[in-house]
Structure 1
């Protein structure tokens, strides 16, 4: 199958730019790959993907990850695997943005980033609507984002 990356414009949501590198449709449902560039001190609330494994490949910058209660700081060239059903989050640390490749198996969750970027829903102001839409992508929020140290 051919990648459709050139057909999809990047979207920006809460300061992070998401570019769909490989969509669910282009992979026959097997996976999706998203390139995400996130600013310092940014990161999502604690959450669980109920139906997808998630792999982060750190291309640049540094990010603190919380995975099932364990914290680690990862930099360029490092990878973290988040099995489906695992509670996790991350926060970009330092003064530089972080660039991640986010690989989801199976694909489909990339649609959440597209929706959020299109509609510009804000955390925490629009959390009720964000939570409702997240459930459609089998995502459940379980706690707050990581706080800056």
Structure 2
């Protein structure tokens, strides 16, 4: 049994297979998941697990090139957005390099999820609490 880091075997496996620029999306409970994209459904009930907790778990395992967020996230759910940006800034400082944040309209964010290797559904009930991680390389 794995005792540290990301314990979900399906999610850990997906991250281990990602190549440079491959996309992995972590979403709230309501984001539509396109047909043909692998769904990793972690949602148990409202808020469990939270979006931020899953983001932090993914960050422990994944090398990043950049992230993508919906523009609407900043205005509609500013508290959660600011919390996420704080997590990303702390991660950037810890890694010693910037994590670029790209914003797109929500309609385009949803279209872009078709390119994700997998989408991880959380129990988050906050509108627009979605992020797409673009994989980086460790060298």
Q: Which has the higher contact order (CA 8 A, sep 6+)?
A: 2
Q: Comparing both structures, which one devotes a greater share of its residues to strand? A: 1
Q: With structure 1 as the length reference, what TM-score do the two structures score?
A: 0.29
